[in-house]
Amino acid sequence: MLSPSHLSRRAVLRNGLVAIGIASIIAACSPVVDHRGYLPQGDVLQKVQPGMSKTEVQALLGSPSTTATVNFHGDSFYYISDTVEQEAFFKPTVVDRRILAIRFNQNDQVESFATYGLEDGRVINFNTRQTPTRGKELTILQQLFSNIGKFSPGGNAVGGPAPGGSIGGSPF
């Protein structure tokens, strides 16, 4: 027979394990926040002025996240920063995005600059990773059983002419 103190220890142990399990489940459901990219802040941004050269901008802000050439009008630097949240196994969601765009003229001097946010963007689907196909899509079972009953035991298609002959009799 078990003593009452032994039963209370068992109850405390069980309750402790339940509490640890619940805490683990709650911790697993909290989102993972990931900060990506680099966006200059505060007083560093105030130092960017029209007329600065590309090398001066790179010395002040560092290398851009990406660059672009706009026909023959000059280049652009883009400094991009994202904040992404992901809960458990769900698809990551961008919750904040900041972009600093610096446009240069033909002489590689700052012409203009602007800061954009997530609300300024548009979603463009570059690649859906799906190849469009013609016809109907069949399941594996439909493919396996689709020819049952379409052919006669002699090897000729049901209802079609025999090779070298005609329907309903001799060719002569």
Number of CB atoms found within 10 A of residue 93's CB: 11
Burial call 50-68: b when 16+ CB within 10 Å, e when fewer: eebebeebeeebeebbeee
pLDDT of residue 2: 52
- For 6, 27, 122, the CA distances from 15, given in Å and listed in that order, are 14, 18, 51
* Average pLDDT by stretches of 10, the chain with 172 residues: 63 86 75 85 85 92 87 83 87 89 91 88 70 75 79 58 53 50
